[in-house]
Structure 1
Amino acid sequence: MTAVDQNVLSAISQGEHNDPFSVLGPHEEGRNLVVRTFQPQVEAVSVVDRNDAVLADMTLVYPGLFEATISTDIGYRLRLSAGGNTDTIDDPYRFPSPLGDIDRYLLGEGTHLRLYEKLGARSIELDGVVGVHFAVWAPNAQRVSLVGPFNEWDGRRHVMRAHPDNGVWDIFIPGLVPGELYKFEIKGSNGDVLPLKSDPFGRRFEPPPGNASIVPDNRSMNWEDKDWLASRAQLSSLDAPMSIYEVHLGSWCQSPENQHWMSYKQLADELVPYVKEMGYTHIEVLPITEHPFDGSWGYQPIGMYAPTWRFGTPHDFKVFVDQCHREGISVILDWVPAHFPRDTHGLGEFDGTHLYEHADPRQGAHSDWGTLIFNYGRKEVVNYLLANALFWLEEFHIDVLRVDAVASMLYLDYSREHDQWIPNEHGGNQNLEVVEFLKQMNTLVHSHGGMTIAEESTSWPMVSRPVYLGGLGFTYKWNMGWMNDTLNFFKEEPIHRRFHQGELNFSLTYAFSENFVLPLSHDEVVHGKGSMLTRMPGDAWQQFANLRLFYTFMYGHPGKKLMFMGCEFGQRREWNFESALDWALLDDPQHAGIQRLVRDLNQLYQMTPALYERDCEAEGFEWIDCTDNEHSVIAFIRRAKVIEDCVVIVCNFTPMVHEQYRIGVPGPGTYQERLNSDSSSYAGSGVGNPGGVMAEAICSHGQSHSLSLTLPPLAALVLQAKPAAS
């Protein structure tokens, strides 16, 4: 038996050796095999065969290091003895890497779109033995070890195999089972051992104060949404209705058992039927990717591949998504590829270098949020994010990714002073690497049947135009300008609105420059802004009437719709992520009226092609009159693809009833109220035009016919002609 240099053995025992597979495990020596193992916690080790027969007792050649010679490799095992107890294990160092040549090549190239199938923790069977394969990217590390309760968090005992061609380290631990905690102990390039790191590809994490990753189970999901996925492209077309209910899962409603978060399964049983009953087509969940701080609402993720532990297991989240699809509801996931928190167990300085983030804080740090920015110029980082987008589509059947903070990604000088950013190669402030990343991401998601929505608040051109036309490739863009202008208009007392009507009308000058979503999101009901109801002026009656008017105007305006939870029944207090919505308010007829209105708006919206088919086409909208500032009245037409199929919408932004108010209409017939936001069924005053109004052959507003209407106070009418009998 050839003796191993004592310095090598010392390095192994001290956790200083960066290639333990060259020393430990089986090694050919002539016709025999020399087996070495490092077991500092035991007194004696024997090599046994698969029938537990002893092949050789091992010799202690260095503290904790045992060695023996056997005649052949027959899938040996190790019998460990300590304190009168024995345990038989498979030797991790006798197993080859399951990473194939193609995998290693693609990992090195940064083009492995299914990284999540190779990196992280995976329960597999290798050479007939069941265990868990671990792999992590840490190209600048001197040494990477897997640690956990299974090895008493001892970084010397499971040092991983290095793949220098791609910077990946891996090891197979036989006998390990789902549910085990684990982390990576990494020695940086300068020789320092870093704080223990969670798995960037971890599928599960333990709750605070712990932050270890958890070996996931490989329980299969019995998906029942095959038909849904097959029809998803049609449901996702621009001419389909899209009414989104945005939800923070932790505060929608509390579990009656413990006054705490509902589980994914409870939400599947209660939230999904509610959304269906209310007529929404989509549920958008605030980020459920794992995050360390409740108060970030998920927008500072640390586990991009893990549904948060707060509401259950990954399988439970799949059940939630499947239930949504079974009820005909699409699922939108808020996705945050813009930044990540600085927590020491996360991605920051992962291998002792600025691996996932830029080294220069002018590029790599968000001073506003105290977070780190991904390095979009590094191919492996882009690969990590692209694979993550695909992961949520394929593993969890997510339909849409709503990409957060796109503006902060696109501009190098976003929220920075002149000396706090670095221009691009052309001297500009556009982040060209982000532009390329977003184009790749959107192309990838669309090619796999998904959609994307950009939360982008600037005038960056062609956000929702195809990549092949020079756009960023998003399906939709949030219309932040519409939201700001409309809320600014509505906060004015009605007597002053005649001076601000331009704010209300301005959005129609650019409404078709992008494919827009009209967002009333969580951002509008936090940080001292109040609720949607309390942002309306006047006494209680006027606040409710204004809110009903606002919502009806929103559903008439071109663009898909988004409403944050609680807005649909006029929650009075500002949203607080720590407590459930005030569902008891529905005992009040005024709040119940708001909820009934929103339900009816959703139903009317889906039943009326004129309200959605041409959201993204200028031909789908026509002003009747937007100039009557003195009465604060506007009227417009929405048209379907069949141009004769249209509705007329009239809004009165004052608390005055306008009698015999004449507006032009596009043709003859009796125009009936499809919806009146002042209806008594919504706790309104009940003023309106019961039975409908016959169009007269009197030209008005450039139209061939006109109506003489009663306009209810602070209300909107949705009118549609019933053709006159021939």
Structure 2
Amino acid sequence: MTQKGTVRDEAWKDFHLPAPEAEAIASGTHRDPFSVLGVHQFGDGFIARVFAPGASEITAHDLGGRPVGRLDSGAAPGLFEGRVDLSGREPVTYAAANDGGTWTIEDPYCHGPVLGPMDDYFIAEGSHLRLFEKLGAHPMRHEGADGVHFAVWAPNARRVSVVGEFNGWDGRRHVMRLRLDVGVWEIFAPGVKPGATYKYEIIGPNGERLPLKADPFARRAELRPATASIVAAELEHEWGDSAHRAHWSRTDPRRQPMSIYEVHPGSWRRHADGRFLSWDELADELIPYCVEMGFTHIEFLPISEHPYDPSWGYQTTGLYAPTARFGEPEGFARFVDGAHQVGLCVLIDWVPAHFPTDAHGLARFDGTALYEHADPRQGFHPDWHTAIYNFGRREVVSYLVNNALYWAEAFHVDGIRVDAVASMLYLDYSRKEGEWVPNRHGGRENLEAVAFLQEMNKAVYGSHPGIVTIAEESTSWPKVSAPVHEGGLGFGFKWNMGFMHDTLSYFQRDPIYRSHHHDEMTFGLIYAFSENFVLPVSHDEVVHGKGTMLTRMPGDEWQKFANVRAYFGFMWGYPGKKLLFMGQEFAQRGEWSEARSLDWDHLDDPRHHGMQDLVRDLNRLYASTPALHARDCEPEGFEWLIADDRANSVFAWVRRAPGEKPVVVVANLTPAYREGYRVPMPGKGLWREIFNSDSTIYGGSGKGNLGEVMARPEEGRAIAELALPPLATLMFTPA
């Protein structure tokens, strides 16, 4: 017995970690701590090693709490190692002690990887469509212990650690395992719970320690100015919107009414003390307001986490995390569900065109240009001083495509409006000659961005029936809203920036000069059906010195209001879906600021209240009248009746839908009141006046046609003699 014991003791002499390796563990520079820390077989038994700075004593226990061995100090401060009484390799915990007390250490190095070979395969291929379930921070039970799995892509890093309150922000404590084939670092951290704050400590390829990085896949983040990521529990919400989703999955949105209310959630309303409304408070106020106003869709400016309020969310550092400004992610889920249950759709602005260079964000994430192009001619945006995603890198494309899928899946959003698409499509966007790199054919088209947008649209439409994607694209790039298989970008809709620019340019002119610019109002019909268009009067039109819809109009106060009313009537009668930025529905006077609430006290003025009533009635009329929406995107739904009366600045057209009553729209865009104005009508007989922007209930002069007009046959056509109120739009339908 003595001899055998001596031989066994002799065999165990070599388990102690050599000093250089021990010092590498203690300094956090060891390339593979999983190879030495945790439980390892040694001969016919097992040893355990743990790095526990500050401890003076360490005892190992199995997960049942049974002591299995006392560990001795190793060759570097904080390192403990020793034999453990285990029958197999299994996780252990450690009871640590010093003069200040005792604590428990749950050892991550006792646990194997969570990701598997198929994850590696799909990540490497760039085809993983559940990447948001694999990367980031995910609470789980793994190998008998509860904790959190962390995974992050940083292929050029020498070392990546997850740090947080759970390890004293000490990068030596949770050094991660590198999956060499895909450049993903992962670790299962037992004992970490939802709500824990964390970041990644990365040592770059040249040995430099980078600023702590937030998790690109984090589903929660701290409220600015703090920038840490937060471990989020799996989203807990019992959805009640199955009927809503089923409806939109079997309908063609091009033939449905879409009247979109664009909202910045931080400034729509605020508490009296300036605090933001939470998602639940927004649900209580914004959803009923939109229903009352007849809007069909709410579109939020970006709600992903962003550090700087004046960026309005367009410089995001946390694409997967709903901003903490309005509460926890479940609050946004409750908002979307509540909207769906009363028939409202929810759209979100999405920003894959660029990202800010904040130190905790994606910029030079692993010490190299990982998410962005290294060449500033390709990777830096001169307009916004931001970085541009490298769309030629499959991992970056996968990151972005998965983000679009995540919002659709986790939060049931009905659509995604993609910001600044034009800046993605053109390599020379906002650049002078010599400041951009041509594509492989020598052209200025960003072929990689085109492929990314097509891939995103295919993935979103292919997996989420009923969703829509909308492009903010300000050029004449062809087939933006055509299917990918037809050579298009694959979007469902495109913002009609030409309509917005031309019509606002016209309306800003004194009416005496409008006759010279008549074509600004008619030119848009040349291309109106080349795309599936949304007509936007967005946040961009009420900032940066542009004034508001009201203040940019010419004339005295009465004429300013009349012009806005006529404009909205013209827009709601024009082919295309509608979008209006918050505050314009009641003609806010001051430019919008993200720092304060809208001027709701305007509604004490009957003129502003009348404008609000007009938008409400237009929305309801538009939604209930198929001729005004069912062929918004098809040429058979529109026909000019009067397009060339530039002398009087009068326009008239008819809107149609199969099997439905037509609607005639007539706009008189001068202050002159015209009686007996002859308009060719689609048919003879009595026509009801169903809308008059000059009605006294809206603040107008009350002139009109007493509710109806008669169209009489004359030389093979029907003619109605109308009274045209000043600066007004009228609509008629057969009685």
TM (norm. structure 1) is 0.98
Alpha-carbon distance in structure 2 between the residues aligned to 1:316 and 1:639: 41
Paired with 2:549 and 2:46, the residues of 1 have a C-alpha distance of 75
Q: 1: distance between equivalents of 2:378 and 2:95?
A: 53
What does the per-residue CA deviation read over 1:265-316, in whole Å, with 9 as the maximum and x for residues that have no partner? Answer: 1001100100011000000000000111000000011000000000111011
Give CA deviations for 1:58-102 in whole Å, capped at 9, x if unaligned: 010121110011232454321111225222232110011111221
Q: Structure 1: which 5+ runs fail to align?
A: none
Q: Which deviates more, 26-35 or 566-575?
A: 26-35
Matched, 1:309 2:324: yes
Conserved in 1, the CA contact under 8 Å of 2:262 and 2:582? Answer: yes
State which of 420, 423, 432 in structure 1 corresponds to 2:435: 420
Q: Contact between 2:259 and 2:296, CA under 8 Å: does it hold in 1?
A: yes
Of 678-687 and 203-212, more deviation after overlay is shown by 203-212
| Identical residues among aligned pairs (%) | 56
Q: Which residue of 1 aligns with 2:554?
A: 537
Matched, 1:57 2:70: yes
SS state at 1:558 partner = coil
Aligned residue for 1:222, secondary structure, equals coil
Which of 287-296 and 63-72 deviates more?
Answer: 63-72
Q: Distance in 1 between matches of 2:217 and 2:190?
A: 20
Structure 2 distance, partners of 1:491, 1:499, is: 13
Q: 2:101 aligns with which of 81, 85, 89?
A: 85
Q: Which residue of 1 aligns with 2:110?
A: 94
Counterparts of 1:644-655 in structure 2 under 5 Å?
645-655=661-671
Report the counterpart of residue 708 of structure 1 in structure 2: 721
**Which residue does 1:439 correspond to in 2?**
454
Instruction: Give the partner amino acid of 1:45.
Output: I
Residue pair 2:686, 2:710 contacting (<8 A) in 1 also: yes
Give 1:108 deviation, angstroms.
2.0
Q: Would you say 1:601 and 2:618 are equivalent positions? A: yes
Cα distance in 2 for residues equivalent to 1:58 and 1:416: 63
* Matching of residues 449-460 of structure 1 within 5 Å: 449=465, 450-460=467-477
Tell me the SS of whatever aligns to 2:255: coil
Task: State which of 288, 298, 301 in structure 1 corresponds to 2:303.
Answer: 288
1:403 and 2:409 are equivalent in the alignment: no
Partners of 1:382 and 1:520 in 2: CA distance = 31
Residue among 607, 612, 617 paired with 1:590: 607
Letter in 2 for 1:708: E
Q: Which residue of 1 aligns with 2:7?
A: none
Q: Does 1:656 align with 2:678?
A: no
Corresponding residue number in structure 2 for 1:202: 218
Q: Decide whether the 8 Å contact of 2:139 with 2:234 is kept in 1.
A: yes
Corresponding residue for 1:274?
A: 289
Question: Secondary structure of the equivalent of 2:642?
Answer: strand
Residue 158 (structure 2) pairs with residue 130 (structure 1): no
Structure 1 segment 303-342 matched on structure 2, within 5 A? 303-342=318-357
- 1:151 CA displacement: 1.2
Q: What secondary structure sits across from 1:17 in the alignment? A: coil
Q: How far 1:219 moved relative to its partner?
A: 4.7
Aligned with 1:7 (options 20, 40, 53): 20
Give 3-state SS (helix, strand or coil) of 1:696's partner.
strand
Within the candidate set 626, 630, 637, 2:643 is matched to: 626
Deviation of 1:235 after TM superposition, in Å, equals 4.8
Q: Deviation of residue 255 (structure 1)?
A: 2.1
Counterpart check, 1:617 vs 2:631: no
Q: Which of the residues 409, 431, 454 maps onto 1:394?
A: 409
Partner of 1:66: 80
Worse-matched range after superposition: 231-240 or 476-485: 231-240
Match of 1:376 in 2: 391
Aligned partner (choices 232, 240, 244) of residue 216 of structure 1: 232
Q: Pick one of 596, 602, 607 that aligns with 1:579.
A: 596
CA contact (8 A) 1:143 1:160 kept: yes
Q: What letter is aligned with 2:59?
A: S
| Residue 16 (structure 1) aligned with residue 29 (structure 2) | yes
Query: d(CA) in 1 for partners of 2:137 and 2:707?
Result: 66
Inter-partner Cα distance in structure 2 for 1:236 and 1:314 = 30
Q: Please, which runs of 5 or more residues in structure 2 have no aligned partner?
A: 1-11
User: Which residue, 624, 637, 640 being the options, matches 2:654?
Assistant: 637
Distance 1:218 1:458 in 2: 41
Q: Which residue of 2 aligns with 1:162?
A: 178
- Give the whole-Å Cα distance in 2 for the aligned partners of 1:458 and 1:543: 30
On the 8 A contact 2:235/2:410 being kept in 1, the answer is no
* Residues 163-182 of structure 1 deviation map (CA, whole Å, 9 limit, x = unaligned): 10110111111111111110
Corresponding residue number in structure 2 for 1:45 = 58
Match in the other structure for 1:467: 484
CA distance in 2, matches of 1:304, 1:49: 40
Conserved? CA contact 1:108–1:167, under 8 Å? no
Q: 1:623 to 1:299 in 2, by over 3 A?
A: same
For 1:76 and 1:711, how far apart are their aligned partners in 2?
85
Cα distance, 1:626 vs structure 2: 1.0
Letter in 2 for 1:117: E
Aligned counterparts of 2:152 and 2:186: Cα–Cα separation in 1: 7
Q: 2:718 and 2:530 mapped to 1: Cα distance?
A: 31
- Between the aligned partners of 1:152 and 1:33, the Cα distance in structure 2 is 29
Partner amino acid for 1:44? E
Partners of 1:535 and 1:234 lie apart in 2 by: 42
Contact 2:17–2:74 under 8 Å retained in 1? no
> Match for 2:128 among 103, 107, 112?
112
**SS of corresponding position for 1:28:** strand
CA RMSD in angstroms, aligned pairs only: 1.1
Give 1:122 deviation, angstroms. 0.5
Aligned twin of 2:275:
260
The 1-side partners of 2:490 and 2:722 are apart by 44
TM-superposed deviation, 1:128:
2.2
CA contact (8 A) 2:223 2:323 kept: no
1:360 to 375, 378, 383: 375
How far is the alpha carbon of 1:50 from its aligned partner? 3.5
Q: Matches of 1:405 and 1:369 in 2, distance apart?
A: 11
Distance 1:75 1:524 in 2: 60
Correspondence list, 1:498-517, <5 A: 498-517=515-534
Q: Which letter does structure 2 place at the counterpart of 1:212?
A: A
CA distance in 2 between partners of 1:243 and 1:51 (Å) = 60
**How far apart in 2 are the matches of 1:58 and 1:317?**
49
Cα distance, 1:42 vs. partner? 1.1
Task: State the 1:245 CA deviation.
Answer: 0.2
- Which of 447, 461, 480 aligns to 2:497? It is 480
| Range moving further from structure 2, 300-309 or 100-109 | 100-109
Are the equivalent residues in 1 in contact too, given 2:673–2:725 (CA < 8 A)?
yes
